[in-house]
Chain A
Amino acid sequence: MSDTTSTDLAVRTAGLTKRYGTLLAVNDMSLAVPTGSIFGLIGPNGAGKSTTFAMLASLLRPSSGELSVMGVDPAHDRDELRRRLGYMPDTLGVYDNLRVVEYLEFFAASYRVPRHRWSALIADLLELVELSVKRDSMVNSLSRGMKQRLSLARALVHDPDLLVLDEPASGLDPRARVELRDLLRGLNAMGKTIIISSHILAELEEVCSHVAIMEAGRLLASGPPREILDRLGGSRTMRVRFADGLVETFTVDSGADQAHLLRRLVIDEGRDVVEYVEESGGLEQLFLTVTQGVVQ
């Protein structure tokens, strides 16, 4: 864990454990989520991601360990936490007999947002999630992707500092996933810290500044993807395009080797390099390197 102060960290856990009888759903997890980051929590089914999120959101009580979310202990100062945290679970439950605007008004009331602010707030939220045209539609008439966006709007209704999103891209078509990615970048640019879990590693790779990898309840690695890869000694693929149009790929073992390769091509071999980029799939490669395929 990096040496950061508590104000630099949106979430800090130390030895966080959740036990169900003999099953350790989360086992001795020590995590640090920097404020202002988009933090991806990666892991197979049953890794403990949703359980971790439920503890962060003060829905589940940890069996042991320390947990601090924006400087607040979820078990003792639940209301303060909920004012500052927006949670989107991995389920899409909505109230079918409500209109979109009524759905958001209900949650605005539930979060004690002053009534005189509702109109402008909901208009802004619907514009943000691109559901303005569906303002007066019944919620049960929305597509899955629209319901996901509405669920995100619900999590934003009280303007939280931290967003915890459990599988927000699940079941979305490619266009909807791209739109969600852009939305998350926009929210992060507003200053919100985002913790997101997903199975779609390529999606996380596009948006996440930091990742944590879980398997069988244990945290295996945490930090910026590049740093984790360097720490683990994982190889990466570099794509090089030369001035004559030729494109070649090279495999390097570390960040240092990346620099050596470039020096070798440009100085030693005198080749005219116009593009030198690392190919996508780094997060997938990282995941496969770190995990063992254990499911509990």
Chain B
Amino acid sequence: MRLTVNPVLAREVKERMRGLWTFVVLMVFLGLLTLTVWVAHAATRSYDPFSFDLERQTRLGRDLFEWVLTIMIVLVMFFVPGLTAGAVAGERERQTLLPLQITLLKPRHILWGKVMASLAFLTLLEVASLPVLAVAYRLGGVTVADLVAGLAAVLVVGVLLATMIVGISSFAKRVQTATLLAYGFTMVVAVGSFVVAGVASVVDSNRGFDPSDPPAALLLPNPIVFAAVATAGENIDSGDGPLQALRQLVRDTHRANGGWWLGDGEVADGFDPNGGFVFVDDDGFLVDSPGPTTSAALMSFGSLAALAVALFALGCRRLRTPAETER
């Protein structure tokens, strides 16, 4: 069986690389990442040129890595809506959608080609940012596995977001409308889970004392939370990176609730003589002290992927022909 490149992917990549916008985005992306490294390094370096603290340096490397990852995710969540909002709305505006729909390409081929074009561009951004990440790796505290996990997390966030927005773009008649919808949707996805969890917590505390707390799973359908739990690494409890605060929040919420869903509120099951508390989950299995980040990452990914698949499917349905009305 011969592999063929999706024609929409090939065309989108070609067009994108010929536009000035691509290079502007690349420049801004790398510029901001480099600035992040410089600021983080300047803020945490030791001013004593004769002292060398290995633990401090590895913590610096870890923090730097987290800061760079965080900025990468924020930039991806800023650029992806702008780059993908016009995926279908732009075709409609340019009046190129009809000739495309009349070919043998099915709606899922058209939309998938656009998602893959976003993936290609994100991969370019990540490869270009490797030298910046190498600074953190060189300082220590970051393994190759951490780097791979971090880059994979950013890529997954970008692709899932692009998939959602390509689906949304199928419903907009104009690029301007699609862009507004895309950024609005991204805002909801970025902060929505925190808002819902916060409201649930307020409602729960106002109800007075009861053994159950809002489900910790409310926090998980969030791309930034996903990136945090997916890049937990080995030194989960160390560092002052921005993602660490999120991991702490997820872990504490999970523990306070005794699980991801509605638990009985037990905080701890015993005391470990070696230090710290011992935690047991609902099935009676010992929970590692760093917290169940693997299950958190899987659940977070699952919820975001489900949303992406749903929006993608709706977008395909919107483009299906013959249609009832002119699209």
A, B: real partners? yes
Given B7, B91, B101, which contacts A109 in the complex, CB threshold below 8 Å?
B7
Asked if B10 contacts A82 (CB within 8 A), the reply is no
Of B66-74, B196-204, B317-325, the stretch lying at the interface with chain A is B317-325
Q: Does B100 contact A (CB under 8 A)?
A: yes
Count contacts on B: residues with CB < 8 A to the other chain: 28
Asked if A61 contacts B322 (CB within 8 A), the reply is yes
Q: Which A residues are CB-close (under 8 A) to B102?
A: 57-59, 82, 85, 87
Q: Interface digits, A86-97 against B, CB 8 Å rule (1 contact, 0 not)?
A: 010101111111
A75 to B320, CA, bound (A): 11
A74 to B4, CA, bound (A): 27
Q: Does B96 contact A (CB under 8 A)?
A: yes
Q: A78-B322, A82-B104, A97-B14 are in contact. Are A91 and B7 (CB under 8 A)?
A: no
Question: Which A residue's beta carbon lies closest to that of B6?
Answer: A109
A96 to B95, CA, bound (A): 12
Q: A59-B322, A60-B326, A102-B14 are in contact. Are A111 and B96 (CB under 8 A)?
A: no
Count contacts on A: residues with CB < 8 A to the other chain: 35
Q: Which residue, of B7, B18, B102, B322, has the highest number of chain A Cβ atoms within 10 A?
A: B102
Q: Which B residues are CB-close (under 8 A) to A98?
A: 11, 14-15
A87 to B104, CA, bound (A): 13
Given A58, A92, A97, which contacts B322 in the complex, CB threshold below 8 Å?
A58
Q: Does B207 contact A (CB under 8 A)?
A: no
A61 to B324, CA, bound (A): 5
Asked if B105 contacts A89 (CB within 8 A), the reply is no
Q: Does B99 contact A (CB under 8 A)?
A: yes
Asked if B96 contacts A55 (CB within 8 A), the reply is no
Question: Which A residue's beta carbon lies closest to that of B19?
Answer: A97
Q: Which B residues are CB-close (under 8 A) to A112?
A: 104
Within 8 A of A (CB), among B58-99: 91, 94-99
Q: Does B206 contact A (CB under 8 A)?
A: no
Within 8 A of B (CB), among A135-171: 151, 154
Report the tally of A-B residue pairs with Cβ distances under 8 A.
Answer: 85
Given B18, B95, B99, which contacts A107 in the complex, CB threshold below 8 Å?
B99
Within 8 A of B (CB), among A70-126: 74-75, 78-79, 82-83, 85, 87, 89, 91-98, 102, 106-107, 109-112
A54 to B102, CA, bound (A): 10
Q: Which A residues are CB-close (under 8 A) to B14?
A: 97-98, 102
Q: Which B residues are CB-close (under 8 A) to A55?
A: 322
Q: Does B51 contact A (CB under 8 A)?
A: no
Asked if B104 contacts A106 (CB within 8 A), the reply is no
Given B10, B18, B98, B324, which contacts A97 in the complex, CB threshold below 8 Å?
B18
Q: A92-B95, A98-B15 are in contact. Are A110 and B323 (CB under 8 A)?
A: no
Shortest distance in angstroms between B187's beta carbon and chain A's nearest beta carbon?
30
Given A51, A78, A106, which contacts B321 in the complex, CB threshold below 8 Å?
A78
Asked if A95 contacts B15 (CB within 8 A), the reply is yes
A235 to B128, CA, bound (A): 76
Question: Which B residue's beta carbon lies closest to that of A112?
Answer: B104
Q: Does B274 contact A (CB under 8 A)?
A: no
Asked if A106 contacts B101 (CB within 8 A), the reply is no
Shortest distance in angstroms between A135's beta carbon and chain B's nearest beta carbon?
16
Question: Which B residue's beta carbon lies closest to that of A86?
Answer: B102
Q: Interface digits, B7-44 against A, CB 8 Å rule (1 contact, 0 not)?
A: 11011001100110000000000000000000000000
A107 to B104, CA, bound (A): 10
Shortest distance in angstroms between A267's beta carbon and chain B's nearest beta carbon?
57
Asked if A82 contacts B15 (CB within 8 A), the reply is no
A78 to B14, CA, bound (A): 29
A151 to B94, CA, bound (A): 14
Q: Which B residues are CB-close (under 8 A) to A87?
A: 98-99, 102
Asked if B95 contacts A95 (CB within 8 A), the reply is no
A111 to B325, CA, bound (A): 24
Q: A61-B322, A74-B322 are in contact. Are A95 and B105 (CB under 8 A)?
A: no
A78 to B102, CA, bound (A): 9
Q: A59-B321, A78-B321 are in contact. Are A93 and B326 (CB under 8 A)?
A: no
Shortest distance in angstroms between B46's beta carbon and chain A's nearest beta carbon?
50
Q: Which B residues are CB-close (under 8 A) to A83?
A: 104
Asked if B15 contacts A97 (CB within 8 A), the reply is yes
Shortest distance in angstroms between B325's beta carbon and chain A's nearest beta carbon?
7
Q: A83-B104, A110-B104 are in contact. Are A95 and B96 (CB under 8 A)?
A: yes
Q: Which A residues are CB-close (under 8 A) to B15?
A: 95, 97-98
Shortest distance in angstroms between A179's beta carbon and chain B's nearest beta carbon?
22
Q: Which A residues are CB-close (under 8 A) to B326?
A: 51, 54, 59-60
Residues of A within 8 A of B (CB): 20, 51, 54-55, 57-61, 74-75, 78-79, 82-83, 85, 87, 89, 91-98, 102, 106-107, 109-112, 151, 154
Nearest 10 CB-CB pairings of A with B: A93-B95, A109-B7, A110-B103, A91-B95, A93-B96, A61-B322, A97-B15, A97-B18, A89-B98, A93-B94
Show 14 residue pairs from A and B whose CB-CB distance is below 8 angstroms, ordered by the A residue: A51-B326, A55-B322, A59-B101, A75-B322, A82-B104, A87-B102, A95-B15, A97-B15, A98-B11, A98-B14, A98-B15, A107-B103, A109-B7, A111-B104
* Besides A60-B324, A93-B95, 16 new A-B residue pairs in contact (Cβ under 8 A), listed by A number: A51-B326, A59-B101, A59-B102, A60-B321, A60-B323, A75-B322, A89-B98, A92-B95, A93-B97, A97-B14, A97-B15, A97-B19, A110-B8, A110-B103, A112-B104, A151-B99
